[in-house]
Structure 1
Amino acid sequence: MTGKPLLVILGPTGIGKTALGIAIARALDGEIVGADSRQIYRYMDIGTGKPTPEERAAAPHHLIDIVNPDENLGLAQYQRLAYAAIDDLHQRGKLPLLVGGTGQYLSAVTEGWSIPEVAPDHTLRAELEAFAAANGSLALHARLQQLDPAAAAQIDHQNVRRVVRALEVCLLTGEKISDLQRKKPPPYRLLHIGLTLPERAQVYARADARVDTMIAAGFVAEVRRLLDLGYARTLPAMSGLGYAHLAAHLLDGLPLTDAVAKTKNDTHDFIRRQYTWFRGHDLGTLWHNGEALSVAVLLRQLEAFLKG
């Protein structure tokens, strides 16, 4: 295996990727490149599990807080920014760590997707968005399921922007976006480290506890601030786990207990989709128990990888 090293740390939400990434970065003179489609947004800190200022001071992070909630960052844009960050770290003699749980971000970088350059059709987008508003995101997702089942399996129905984009490519080109995403592997020497737990129920329980911690840390106030800043709950950024339900709590009177329960259920669904993605795009991931992993042992195992 040739090329400069790129260490990838992946796993389901709330499993401990950030802490492991920081520990390795500090030990091996590395810096972290984020692979989380929610942590790119400013002002959305608690609900996205964004690294704290203290954690970001402990190890430099890239591709976090790079757009406002009403701005879009396409997959091709993310890929270009990630490659630029990784190449810059290599030039500075640093070890890049790609850390996150967004499957498309991880695969676009590590598999070298050639993302289709299809110009947006704003009229078509408006029609599809109106359909979703009138019939629900599941109905829109069902249309994608008919046209491109592979893409539908990989895109969360709540992420209306991505569903619309996949439909847009299908309808404008007559091709499936999943077929157009050709691969040209990047010139990196890859090692994938995955964090999980022995039982799926343990992963869900950990995620539930994390939601409770977020609520205690001020998640509701964070959503209130976003709304006060003028960011509509219909924005794609606000489809992230918890944000829409807490907006409904604040604007529609949904009981907080119900909003929290819905957030936990959505998180379980999201975790299932993450594992499906990891299985379908496995590049030899070395899986570890996220609650029993010895960082010291892992660092010794990384020595051979770093030596090339």
Structure 2
Amino acid sequence: MTIQSPETTQTFSVYYDAQDNELNQHKMDAYALGNSILEIAKLVKQADTLLNGEQKTVDLQVTAPAREGSLAIDFAITVLNSGGVDILKYLGLSAASASVIGGTALAVARQLKRKKVISIETTSGSSQAKILYNGGEIECEKTVAMLATNPEIRKSMNEVINQPFFGKNDPKFRVEIDGQNVFIAEGDVVSEFTPMPKNSMSTEETQVITTNVHITQINFESKNGWRMLYDGQEKAVKMDDDAFMTRVRDSVNKFSNGDMFEVELSIIHKKTARSERTEYMITHVIRHRAAPERQIL
């Protein structure tokens, strides 16, 4: 993993070109251009956070307005922390990007396109990783895998490379450093930079326990709409015990909100690249912990 040198400034230029009247006159819709600049800033910031933690290690500035030729935007990125990882290198926006084994984040994102990413496999002591997706796998550096499978990074790539060319013919996006192209996407390749599918990196883990809960909200008509007090907090819970539901409807005894029950509780942890949540489901009600005359089972 390459570490940046202290207090250095590197400039790079982003070019938009196409068979388009506005771009041929060095013009672009103000919203599209402003959004592109914003998303480049987000791309750099998110990469810095992923690779270097919460401490900001680089500062990105726009250094010049669009100039003649293809519509171009100049940026200067200054290293603020000498201990930070070289984010431009691993993104694919640096002359040093060619040395990244297995390709940069931009190259891997292009390979992935709209494919659902299943998981990332890593090995302790190795700098390499394996991205598993529906239909195949990609081997690359761990640093690159983190970037190429991050939803915010992928969204910014799409907004910077793909969206500004919507409805335009022969698109060409390129990044230039010191007069040399370090990244080019043109023609149909431009549209291959897409956001991460929403169900990527999804995992589901279920834990089944026997515990006591207080039922705080009842819904006699549906398995949903129930709530319980568990682990000191009120939580939504699905009542998936059909026999208990029938007994509740038919019983001459009634139970009150707040009654305690011994139950089999499934705790389901769901995680995707975009979100993480926990769901609760009562699969079996074992005992109604109430006075005998009030018990419904």
User: Do they superpose with TM above 0.5?
Assistant: no
**TM-score normalised by length of structure 1:** 0.24
**TM-score normalised by length of structure 2:** 0.25
* Structure with more relative contact order (C-alpha pairs < 8 Å, separation 6 or more): 1
Which of structures 1 and 2 has the bigger CA Rg?
2
Select the structure that is richer in strand. Answer: 2
Select the structure that is richer in helix. Answer: 1
